[in-house]
Amino acid sequence: MSEIDSFNHKCIGFIKCDFDRLFLPCADGKETAIPIYILKEDVEFGLKGDIVVGDGDGGVPMLRISTEKAIKLFTSDWDDFNDFKEIYQTYWSANATYVLCDGFKRLGWSPDFTIEKWITHHVISFLKKEYFDDYKEHFGKEELLCDGSICRLPMDDEEFEL
């Protein structure tokens, strides 16, 4: 059971990542994808409305994104925070970081950008493209540095909500 399963959440998309299938096996012919969830309740590591990439224990390690703050930070001149952990926080081991970065490198990531910032930019671009009406009051006029192309909506046969 993944850690996310113990919280009220909804799957709103997936991130493709060409990482080593020994790290997270999946069926032959299926893409290697990391779920994108929105929290539907406050939990110990995030607030209702925050985005969680990955699903924790038993699945892909997690990245928590404070959705409203991340959108404001990366699309406007807002900077009312003390530490980037208020914007995004990783819950990855060194080994998991290596495997994920190796996979994301194949999709255009480079160490010039922190991996959590790169993923956050892609997720925020995805939200702007697919869920704009839910977040329109938070978006500024600045362009994001990533286009969201590593993200996609869930397919009909994929689980949406618990």
- Find out whether 91 and 62 touch, Cβ atoms under 8 Å: yes
Average the pLDDT over 92-106 and give the result.
86
* pLDDT tens-digit readout, 141-156: 999 999 999 999 998 7
Residue 142's closest CA among 75, 90, 69?
Answer: 75
- Tell me: pLDDT of 89 over 90: yes
Q: Is the residue at 121 inside a domain?
A: yes
Q: Is the residue at 28 inside a domain?
A: yes
Domain span at residue 82 reads: 3-152
- Find out whether 95 and 10 touch, Cβ atoms under 8 Å: no
Return d(Cα 109, Cα 141) in angstroms, integer: 24
Number of domains in the chain: 1
This prediction has a pTM of 0.88
Q: Is the residue at 158 inside a domain?
A: no
Q: Is the residue at 83 inside a domain?
A: yes
Contacts 24+ apart (CB under 8 A), 43-50: 43/7, 45/89, 45/91
Q: Is the residue at 162 inside a domain?
A: no
Q: Is the residue at 137 inside a domain?
A: yes
